Amino acid sequence: MLKNLYLTRRFFIAYGGVIFLFVLSYSFGWLMPFAQTAFVVVCGIVLADYGLLFNSNTQVSASRRTPKLMSLGDPNRIFLDVVNRSNQRIKVSLVDEIPFQFQKRDFEMYISLAANEARRTEYELKPTERGEYHFGKINLFAESFLGLIQKRFQSDAEKMVPVYPSVIQMKNFELLALRQIAHQSGIKKIRRLGHSYEFEQIKNYVAGDDFRAINWRASGRRNALMVNQYEDEKAQQVYCIIDKSRVMRMPFDGLTLMDHSINAALVMSNIILQKKDKAGLLTFSDKLGSTLAADNSPNQLGRILHELYREKEGKGEASYELLYYAVRRLVRGRSLLLLFSNFESHFALERVLPTLRRLNNMHVLVVVFFVNTEIEELAKSDARTTEDIYHQTIAQKYRDEKTQMMQKLRQFGIQTILTKPEDLNINTINKYLELKSRGII
């Protein structure tokens, strides 16, 4: 029973006042009766408070309601239902044992409940890394109107909630993209690059047919020229390729560049499937990670979500030669490749540029890399001292170098997106819709 008894601040103030009276009574003897009376009164109030809280009719409980999974980088709402099953008003100090990943040591909520009242309250959690998040017990420290002591009630609410790539962003951008798709529905697709066709039938050759489509085996059987007829392939292959190397460990707004890219890959995969294209996934660093062939089956988005959830950051340099051979082996037919990576210098880009050019020759390559928002702010800040001028000059040089890298890639016909991490989703969606409308994919 006593292990659930806690003393409040009011308790210490009350007994502090009593002790102060006893101390003064050594100098002023006439205060001694008052000090003794005050001591008896405070003890009586404490006993009365104990009787109000520690009786069988005073019960307070709580339950927690969480989503089945939480979204990475987004505010996730957690609901708490608190019930006062006693016939008196209770003040409750609520301490929820939230997962250690949030590092919140001062989480506390205060609720006042009337007799037999139930109330729902809520709070938000914003996870910044994927994985398992374990919630513990709900601790309720109840006090009566006297407020000298508290009784602890514990509700067993242990639960594990996984944090997946942002499903919230995926749903939000799905609505936004569908509005854009509807707006652009009248755009006529002029042509497609590569052999983006599906076999339809074999027919007799007529003047004007492409001689490269002649089916010699069927022609031999029929003793007449026969050609394969194709129709435009409605489902184009689109792969999200994520660099997991150390350059993607840089944090912005609480998330690493890799986690920003993972959220964007999920958003893009959903949009791709909504457009009836085929979504695929490939991750790499110095070793190959997930390899999921492009498909538009109903459970493809779930497979992509699961693969993205399991991804871990690499510690080494990215091997673009490994990426090239993985694409050669995995990707069949000309496809759109969305490569999420980052280049911090011209040297880093020049080192991998030959591989990027080879990939672009086989497919439509879009290189997505990031603006360093902190350096951008430094480059635009007011310089007042010599040191400030030096820092601003370096920041401007770094910013200009990023722009030059983008121009270098475009010089070789490689599509590029240079974006702030917070604008990654919308800029990638717009590029995909642009390429679709232009008939490049």
Q: Taking residues 305-312, what's their average pLDDT?
A: 94
pLDDT one-digit tens code per residue, 165-192: 999 999 888 877 666 544 433 333 334 4
Q: Match 């004007």 to its residue by tokens.
A: 208
pLDDT one-digit tens code per residue, 70-111: 999 999 999 999 999 999 999 999 999 999 999 888 889 999
Runs of H (alpha helix) within 130-256: 167-183, 216-222
| Segments making up each domain of the chain, as ranges | 1-163, 167-190+233-437, 199-232
Domains 1-163 and 167-190+233-437 agree in fold:
no
The secondary structure of residue 141, as a DSSP letter, is: E
The secondary structure of residue 145, as a DSSP letter, is: S
State the CB neighbour count (10 A cutoff) for residue 390: 11
Residues 6+ apart with CB under 8 A from 413: 360
Torsion of CA 404, 408, 414, 417, to 10 degrees: -10
State the CB neighbour count (10 A cutoff) for residue 200: 11
Q: Match 């399991």 to its residue by tokens.
A: 310
1-163 CATH: 2.60.40.10
Q: Tokens in use for 232?
A: 């435009």
Task: Give the predicted TM-score (pTM) of the model.
Answer: 0.79
For 72-136, where are the E strands, in sequence order?
Answer: 76-84, 90-96, 109-113, 118-125, 131-135
Regarding the domain delimited by 167-190+233-437, which CATH topology (the fold level of the hierarchy) does it fall under?
A: Rossmann fold (3.40.50)
Backbone angles phi, psi at 323, to 5 degrees: -60, -45
Taking the CA atoms of 276, 278, 281 and 282 in sequence, report the sign of the dihedral they define.
negative
Taking the CA atoms of 3, 47, 59 and 148 in sequence, report the sign of the dihedral they define.
negative
What confidence tier does 314 reach under pLDDT thresholds 50, 70, 90?
confident
